[in-house]
């Protein structure tokens, strides 16, 4: 089921979104100051490629919390809202519910990426 979900996800837009995250990551990594933000964008790109069968573990310390607060203020809230809207739109139909759940998982990561690790189930 994970394979089918991931294939459908990629075909229906996941590949384009992952590419966008990767481009953002490359642009952010051009400057030394943007490297930590670029690494978080690459993390989002990786999860966006194959979200089924993966989970996000949250942790980190004070540094991660401070970086997440800055992230939320600068961009995280808008990215998370986009994923929430997409998740709600997917959950309108029964077939779309698994895709909506994945969008909600990515919304949480888009809101609070520092200190998070993506792991296989």
pLDDT of 38-55, one tens digit each? 999 999 999 999 999 999
pLDDT at 103: 93
Average pLDDT of every residue of the chain: 91
Exposure string over 72-92, b if 16+ CB within 10 A, otherwise e: beebbeebbeebbebbeebbe
What's the average model confidence in pLDDT over 97-117?
93
Domain total for the chain?
Answer: 1
- Enclosing domain of residue 15: 2-120
Provide the whole-model pTM. Answer: 0.86
3-state secondary structure of 33: coil
């Amino acid at each position: 089921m994970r394979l089918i979900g991931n294939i459908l996800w990629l075909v229906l837009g996941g590949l384009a979104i992952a590419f966008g995250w990767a481009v953002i990551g490359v642009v952010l990594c051009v400057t030394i100051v943007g490297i930590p933000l670029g690494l978080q964008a690459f993390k989002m790109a990786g999860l966006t490629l194959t979200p089924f069968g993966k989970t996000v573990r949250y942790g980190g310390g004070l540094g991660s919390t401070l970086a997440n607060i800055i992230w939320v203020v600068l961009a995280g809230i808008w990215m998370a809202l986009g994923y929430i809207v997409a998740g709600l739109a997917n959950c309108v139909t029964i077939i779309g519910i698994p895709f909506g759940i994945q969008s909600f998982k990515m919304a949480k990561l888009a809101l609070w990426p520092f200190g998070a690790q993506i792991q296989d189930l």
